[in-house]
Chains A and B, each alone.
Chain A
Amino acid sequence: MADRFLPAMILVGVAAAAVGAVVTFAVMRAPAAAPTTSATATPATIEGKPNFSGIWQANNEANWDLQAHAARPAAVTQQGIYPYDYARVPAAPVLALGAAGAVPGSLGVVQGDGEIPYKPEALARKQENAANWIDRDPELKCYLPGLPRAMYMPHPFQITQSTNKIHVAYSFTNTARTIHLDEVDGPPDDAWMGHSVGHWEGDTLVVNVTNFNDRSWFDRAGNYHSAMLKLTERFTKKSPDVIWYEVTIEDPEVYTRPWTIAMPLYRRAEPNMQLLEFRCNEFVEEFMYGSLRKEQLVRRWDGEMMSVEITRKIPEGDRFYEWYSK
C-alpha cells in the first residue's frame, strides 16, 4: 500500500532505455598471462596531465560562512543582556555543547572585496535563511550538498581520475559526480550536484557545471542560489599534496555579477586513509521524523549543569509538506 509513497518520487526517467551499445574500442590482444599490475605509487600524471586522484579535504571555515566572519559563541545565538550583535549568547539548541557548539572565525574565501554581490531582494532572503538556519539548511536534513559546497564541507572526498572521466565521490551522504572530459549528453533533469563537463587549460582542469536545481545552499550562513546557477571550477596542483581550487559563481537571478571563491584542498596523507560512509539520512531520522513517532523517544537529557527538554511539533496541514520540501 505504501508504494504510492515510494521514497523517491523522482522516477528515474533517465534514458535508461537499454538500446544496444554501439561503441568502438581499440582492442589489444595479448596473451592471457600478460602482467597486469601497475606501479604501486600513484603517478604524478595521467597521459601527461596532472593526476588529481586521491582523497582530499578542505581545511577551512567556508562551510560555516563563505565570507569573513569573527568567531562566535554558537551556531545559533540569541540576544545577551546587551543589545549588541557582539554580545550575543548561545541559544537553546546548542547551549549544552559549550565550546564545541561555537563557530570558528575566518578571513573568508570570497575573492576581491569579499562581498557576495546579491541583488537587494536576494540579500533579504539570504538574511532570512540565516535567521532560520535550523529549519532551512539542507545540510541539517542530510540533503545532497550541491556544489561548490560539497568541496569544502568538513568531510573528505575522493577523486578517481581516468582519461575521459574523473569521478568524485564525497563521503557526505554518498554524494557523487562524474566530470566528463569527453562528449556526453546532458542530464535528463536538473540536479542537486549539477552536470560537470571538464577540459584542460594547460595543467589546470577547468570544469563547467550547469543544470542545477535551486535547493542547495553554499554554507550554514544561508548563502544560496537559484536554478540559473553556473559554476566554472579551476583545479590546479600547487604541490603533490595541495590543489588550488577556484570557482566562479554566476547566477543572474540572485547576483548582480559573477563572483569567485578560492581555497586550497589538502591531500589526506594518512597511509591508511580511506573514504568511510557518512549515511546521514539515518542520523537525521529522529530530527526529521521524531515528531511522528507513536510515543516521543528523545525527550530529555540530563547533565551536571543543565537538563534539556525536547518538545516536538508537527507543522499543520500544508505546512507539513512544505517543511519536507524546504
Chain B
Amino acid sequence: MRDRFSKLMMTVAIGTAAVAAISVSTGTSAQAPAEGFVMKTPWGDPDLQGIWTDEASTPLQRSPKYANQEFFTEEQRAELDKARSELLGRDRRVERGTELDVAGAYNAQFVSVKRTGLRTSMIVAPSNGRIPPMTPEAQKTMAADRDFRLALLQSTDTCKNESVACRGGKYDPKPSARRSELSPRYNTARMNRFDNPEDGALPDRCLTLGLPEFGANAGSFRRIVQTPNGVTMFYDVGQGQGWQRNIIMDGRPHLPANIRQWYGDSRGHWEGNTLVIDVTNFSPKTDYQGSRENLHLVERWTRTGPNTVDYQVTIEDPTVWTQAWTAKQEFALQNGKENRIYYEPRCVEGNYGLPGLMRGVRTDERAFAQRKGPDPAKRDIATDFVGVEDDPLQ
C-alpha cells in the first residue's frame, strides 16, 4: 500500500526540476565510508548538518533480472537513464472518457525522474535485495485487507474492464455487501468509498506517512541542525508534507509503551563518527509495508565526505517479516544559501480535497436516490496512476 503513496508523492517532482536533476552527478563512490574522514562541530561531535537529499533514483527492491548483482554497470545505468529520459513528457492515456483516464492525470507528462543510482536496490540485506517474506500471520492480514478493497471495487468499470487495479478480484454487477463493513484493520490507504474521512488514505487526510523515509521517486529533503547533546531533523517530503524529529541524545530509555507517535520515538547516540538512532513507539495508525506499532528502526548516519552522508536503516518487525532487512542511501549536501527546503507542513490549511471528495460522494448519493445519477457503488473513486508509464527502473 505504501508504494501507492510513494507514487502520490511523485507529484512533488514539479519543483524538482527534472532537467537539472537528470544532469546531476552523484559524484560518489559505492565504497564504504572513506576511512578516517571526520568533520566535526566546534564542540567535537561528528558534523551531519545541512540539507540532504538522495540525488539518484534507486528502487527499494532489486528487480529479479539483476539477481545478485548489487551495482549497475556503467552501461546499464546509461541505458536506463536513456530509457527513462524518453518517458519524460509522454502523455500515456487509457481509454478516453473513462474514470481511469482522468485518474491517470499524473502520468509521465507530469512527473520527473532523477538519474539512475549506483545500486540495483536500496536493500542491501538480505543479499538478494528484496524485502524478506512476511510471516504467515502478516500474509493473512494483508490478504484480508486486499480482499476487502477488491470487494469495494467489484461492481465498477475498473473490474469490468479487467484493469490491473482489479487484479485478484472479479467483476460483479451487484455491489458487495461489504460496502457497509469496516476495513479489517484501521484504514491507512484509499478505498472505493468515502462514507467517513477515515475511508481516505492518510495523505488525503494530511496525515503524512513517516519513517522510514526514502524519498520516493522525486526525492525528499532533510535538514539536520545539531547542538551539544541534541540533533534535530526537519523533513520536507513535498506537496506540503513534512515533519520534525527531535532526537534524544542523553541515553534515557524510550517513551512508555502507551505513548505512540506518528513519527515514533527517536533515541540517538554516537558510535565513533556514526549517529545511531533507535526508533520505536510508532502509532498503530501508521503503516509501512504492513508494519505498524511494532515497527523498529535502527538508523546509522555517517558523514563520508564534505558533501556526502551515508544512511543505513535496519527495519525490523517480527510480527510482519521473517527477518530484519537493511536499506541504504547516500545523501548529497545541498547548497545552504539557496533556501531549498520548505519548513511548512502546510496541508490541512489548503485541504479542499478531502471535504471535496466527501461532498462529491454525498452529492452522488442524493442524485442516485432521486434517480438522477448512477449508483455511487458502481463508480471508482479510489484508483489512480493507471496508465502511468512504468519506470523501467522500478
A interface residues with partner B (beta carbon < 8 Å): 1-25, 27-40, 42-43, 46-47, 51, 53, 138, 141-144, 158, 160-167, 169, 173-178, 182-188, 191-193, 195, 215, 272, 274-277, 279, 281-282, 284-285, 288-289, 292-295, 297, 314, 320-321, 324
Q: Nearest chain-A residue to B11 (Cβ)?
A: A6
A167 CA / B246 CA spacing, docked (Å): 10
The digit string for B19-37, where 1 denotes a CB below 8 A from any CB of A, is: 0110011010000000111
Please give, as numbers and ranges, the residues of chain A lying within 8 Å of B168 by CB-CB distance: none
CB distance from A169 to the nearest CB of B (A): 5
B interface residues with partner A (beta carbon < 8 Å): 8, 11-12, 14-17, 20-21, 24-25, 27, 35-46, 49-50, 53, 55, 99, 102-103, 105-106, 114, 190, 195-197, 200, 203-207, 219, 221, 223, 225-232, 234, 236, 238-244, 246, 248, 250, 252, 255, 259, 261-263, 270, 272-273, 306-307, 332-359, 361-362, 365, 380-385
> Quick check: A277 and B359 within 8 Å, CB to CB?
no
Q: Which among B14, B40, B53 is the interface contact of A11 at CB below 8 angstroms?
A: B14
> Quick check: B197 and A285 within 8 Å, CB to CB?
yes
Please give, as numbers and ranges, the residues of chain A lying within 8 Å of B241 by CB-CB distance: 7-8
A-B contact pairs, 28 of them (CB 8 A): A5-B353, A5-B356, A6-B8, A6-B353, A7-B239, A11-B239, A15-B339, A16-B221, A18-B55, A18-B114, A22-B335, A29-B36, A30-B40, A31-B36, A32-B38, A36-B46, A37-B44, A38-B43, A42-B230, A51-B228, A144-B345, A161-B227, A163-B41, A176-B242, A277-B263, A281-B347, A289-B354, A324-B352
Please give, as numbers and ranges, the residues of chain A lying within 8 Å of B335 by CB-CB distance: 19, 21-23
Starting from the known contacts A23-B307, A188-B339, 18 additional A-B residue pairs (CB-CB under 8 Å) come to: A2-B200, A2-B384, A5-B204, A5-B354, A6-B203, A9-B352, A11-B14, A14-B342, A15-B338, A17-B17, A27-B39, A36-B270, A42-B227, A160-B225, A164-B336, A281-B348, A289-B354, A294-B195
CB distance from A13 to the nearest CB of B (A): 5
Q: How many A-B pairs with Cβ below 8 Å?
A: 328
CB distance from B17 to the nearest CB of A (A): 4
A184 CA / B339 CA spacing, docked (Å): 6
> Quick check: A1 and B38 within 8 Å, CB to CB?
no
> Quick check: B16 and A17 within 8 Å, CB to CB?
yes
> Quick check: B225 and A162 within 8 Å, CB to CB?
yes
Please give, as numbers and ranges, the residues of chain B lying within 8 Å of A34 by CB-CB distance: 38
> Quick check: B355 and A14 within 8 Å, CB to CB?
no
A140 CA / B318 CA spacing, docked (Å): 40
Known: A1-B103, A2-B381, A18-B20. A289 touches B355 (CB 8 A): yes
Q: Nearest chain-B residue to A52 (Cβ)?
A: B227
> Quick check: A1 and B234 within 8 Å, CB to CB?
no
CB distance from A34 to the nearest CB of B (A): 6
Please give, as numbers and ranges, the residues of chain B lying within 8 Å of A158 by CB-CB distance: 232, 246
Please give, as numbers and ranges, the residues of chain A lying within 8 Å of B261 by CB-CB distance: 276-277
> Quick check: A8 and B359 within 8 Å, CB to CB?
no
Please give, as numbers and ranges, the residues of chain B lying within 8 Å of A177 by CB-CB distance: 343
Known: A1-B384, A21-B333. A142 touches B348 (CB 8 A): yes
> Quick check: B99 and A1 within 8 Å, CB to CB?
yes
Please give, as numbers and ranges, the residues of chain B lying within 8 Å of A274 by CB-CB distance: 246, 248, 255
Q: Which among A3, A20, A23, A32 is the interface contact of B35 at CB below 8 angstroms?
A: A32
Q: Which among B36, B234, B346 is the interface contact of A30 at CB below 8 angstroms?
A: B36
A118 CA / B169 CA spacing, docked (Å): 64
Q: Nearest chain-A residue to B26 (Cβ)?
A: A20
Q: Nearest chain-B residue to A187 (Cβ)?
A: B339
Please give, as numbers and ranges, the residues of chain A lying within 8 Å of B248 by CB-CB distance: 274
A43 CA / B228 CA spacing, docked (Å): 7
A149 CA / B196 CA spacing, docked (Å): 32
> Quick check: B351 and A162 within 8 Å, CB to CB?
no
Please give, as numbers and ranges, the residues of chain A lying within 8 Å of B240 by CB-CB distance: 7-8, 10, 12
Please give, as numbers and ranges, the residues of chain B lying within 8 Å of A186 by CB-CB distance: 339
A21, A28, A277, A288 pick with most chain B CB within 10 angstroms = A21
Please give, as numbers and ranges, the residues of chain A lying within 8 Å of B21 by CB-CB distance: 17-18
Q: Nearest chain-A residue to B49 (Cβ)?
A: A162
Please give, as numbers and ranges, the residues of chain B lying within 8 Å of A295 by CB-CB distance: 195
CB distance from A323 to the nearest CB of B (A): 9
List of 8 A-B pairs having minimum Cβ-Cβ separation, nearest first: A8-B240, A5-B353, A17-B17, A292-B358, A294-B195, A167-B225, A1-B103, A281-B348
A218 CA / B142 CA spacing, docked (Å): 47
A195 CA / B344 CA spacing, docked (Å): 11
A301 CA / B207 CA spacing, docked (Å): 28
Please give, as numbers and ranges, the residues of chain B lying within 8 Å of A314 by CB-CB distance: 359
CB distance from B363 to the nearest CB of A (A): 10
Q: Which among B15, B27, B337 is the interface contact of A14 at CB below 8 angstroms?
A: B15
A144 CA / B242 CA spacing, docked (Å): 13
A103 CA / B362 CA spacing, docked (Å): 39
A297 CA / B196 CA spacing, docked (Å): 9
Q: Nearest chain-A residue to B50 (Cβ)?
A: A23
> Quick check: B357 and A11 within 8 Å, CB to CB?
no
